[in-house]
Amino acid sequence: MWFLTILCLWLLHFSEVCNAGVTSRYTRRLYASVDMPIELFPPPESNAPEQVHITQGDHEGRGMMMLHMIISWVTQMHPTPNVVTYWEAEGKRSYKHRAHATTTTYRYYNYSSGFITLIFSHDIFDTKYIYKLGKHDETRRFSFRTPPQVGPDVPYIFGVIGDLEQTYDSNQTLERYVSNPKGQAVLFIGDISYADNHPFHDNRRWDTWGRFAEKSTACQPWIWTAGNHEIDYAPEFEENTPFRPYKHRYHVPYRASQSTSPLWYSIKRASAHIIVLSSYSAFGTYTPQYNWLEQELPKVNRAKTPWLIVLVHSPFYNSYNYHYMEGEGMRVMFEPWFVKYKVDLVFSGHVHAYERSEQVSNVCYNITNGLSTPVKDASAPVYVTIGDGGNIEGLATSFTEPQPSYSAFREESFGHAILELKNRTHAFYKWHQNQDDEPTAADSTWFYNRYWYPHEEPSSTTSMV
Ligand SMILES: *[C@@H]1O[C@H](CO)[C@@H](O)[C@H](O)[C@H]1NC(C)=O
Ligand SMILES: *[C@@H]1O[C@H](CO)[C@@H](O)[C@H](O)[C@H]1NC(C)=O
Ligand SMILES: *[C@@H]1O[C@H](CO)[C@@H](O)[C@H](O)[C@H]1NC(C)=O
Ligand SMILES: *[C@@H]1O[C@H](CO)[C@@H](O)[C@H](O)[C@H]1NC(C)=O
């Protein structure tokens, strides 16, 4: 089902302030989101590799200064050559490495996928590589830079994108991100192609998404989180296994963090320890995800990775009238751990708008004591909802009023964010509306590390760097 949302055009940019939080009424779009036609992203006529995407291949890099990268692509006619050739772009060592792959295919209702090829390359830290796929006139070349070795003051810049889909607005979000030269890797907060919005979950939409996003996904790692549009559970036409297209197409290094499911895992990158959770998998006491997280959090070494960041599709704190309190079950289970282990930031999607919370927790509440109000908490994370990539269902346009005190800033526009980890104490964060030109950002603030620099953060700022 899709909803065509008619938006109001607010000619003036004004904000109303209530409970110290800011509700921006800045909306500059008149039209609803529309999918880009499937014909805009046709399959190649040859067997050329396409839909190329890369992600981190292991937890951090395994001894010997080596790091694993996962490179995936699709070919339409046959699975070979299933080889990647890669070499250092700069410097003396122009030795060409070759890595061999595994290939898989899947069927979904009456759709048959191309050959999905997956390769692990061994790379050296902080080095630019060129890699080559296919052969003869079907050859395609891309490049990426491997991350610096993990360390407490290693600066790093993440892009943050959620609920991207493949509308004209998605195109604008991705173009804005790509033309912002800063981002080194993307934290993707779930809801990728929205194939499930089409009849029989038309899986060709997974292919067109792969082609659409390749300009970024082939050149820098995207750290994947599963959203509800990845479930693809459709017993009405006997598709009974949740997450099947997603798991075939987007591989993640879950075993490296002792996870038993690709839906929850962790990686370390530069000065960050990133934990990915699944809103759509069991998380109650005794479940695999609960047990994994219980063991994972004490392993986080803040002396090595000061920044502890969680990605989970459904937000815990959300003051829009959309998906209201859907994240509540997981909040009840996991928020006490987030506070205990001083998680710095939690990024969510799902709600098609933008919101940043104050540093709050609601861990005192139990069902009989009536303490149900979130309170300021110096050990609590800030929660960011950034499900505003550009999807066809349109923007979330209604807020709960008055703005709850936990909500620092909210605005119903499409966009992406940039998170700059500067050192172990400071990170600068900016949310860019699609309409904004750099360096104008609609929301920006400093985050202070919970473990190394537990100072009160500015709750709301528009100051630029
Ligand atoms: C799959 O089924 C749908 C609905 O019956 C149909 O429109 C479509 O053409 C079929 N696709 C293929 C590849 O057979
Ligand atoms: C996507 O955005 C780019 C940059 O603005 C533009 O050149 C291109 O035409 C857009 N694609 C579509 C299908 O609108
Ligand atoms: C809930 O809170 C009340 C009041 O603080 C307390 O007496 C009670 O023991 C709590 N219940 C649980 C299960 O912790
Ligand atoms: C960390 O980065 C912040 C912001 O750039 C800077 O003000 C601070 O001095 C840095 N800390 C150290 C120890 O360099």
Residue 21 CB contacts under 8 Å (≥ 6 apart), including other chains = 358, 403, 404, 405, 407, 408, 409, 410, 460
For residue 319, the CA-to-ligand 3 centroid distance in Å is 27
**Annotated catalytic residue 416:** no
Full-model pTM: 0.93
Query: Which ligand 1 atom is the nearest neighbour of the CA of 111?
Result: 13
Closest-CA residue, ligand 4 atom 7, reads: 426
- Domains observed in the chain: 149-190+263-464 (3.60.21.10)
User: Choosing from 201, 251, 323, 350, which is the catalytic residue?
Assistant: 323
Distance of alpha carbon 120 from alpha carbon 102, whole angstroms: 9
Question: SS3 for 29?
Answer: coil
Question: SS3 for 291?
Answer: helix
pLDDT tens digit string along 358-403?
999 999 988 899 888 999 999 999 999 999 999 888 787 788 999 9
For residue 195, the CA-to-ligand 3 centroid distance in Å is 46
- The predicted structure's pLDDT at residue 1: 31
Distance of alpha carbon 363 from alpha carbon 128, whole angstroms: 45
Ligand 4 proximity of 425 Cβ (cutoff 6 Å): yes
Query: Which ligand 2 atom is the nearest neighbour of the CA of 36?
Result: 13
Query: Which ligand 4 atom is the nearest neighbour of the CA of 424?
Result: 1
Strand order in the sheet with 265-269: 15-18, 21-24, 407-411, 354-357, 382-386, 345-348, 307-311, 272-276, 265-269
Q: Which of 107, 110, 112, 202 to mutate to test the pocket of ligand 1 (most atoms within 8 A of CB)?
A: 110
Ligand nearest to the CA of 203: 1
Ligand nearest to the CA of 204: 1
For residue 385, the CA-to-ligand 4 centroid distance in Å is 27
- The predicted structure's pLDDT at residue 461: 55
Distance of alpha carbon 16 from alpha carbon 23, whole angstroms: 6
Going by the DSSP 8-state scheme, the letter that residue 425 receives in this structure is S
For the chain, residues with pLDDT lower than 50 are 1-19, 28, 30, 439, 463-465
- The predicted structure's pLDDT at residue 438: 53
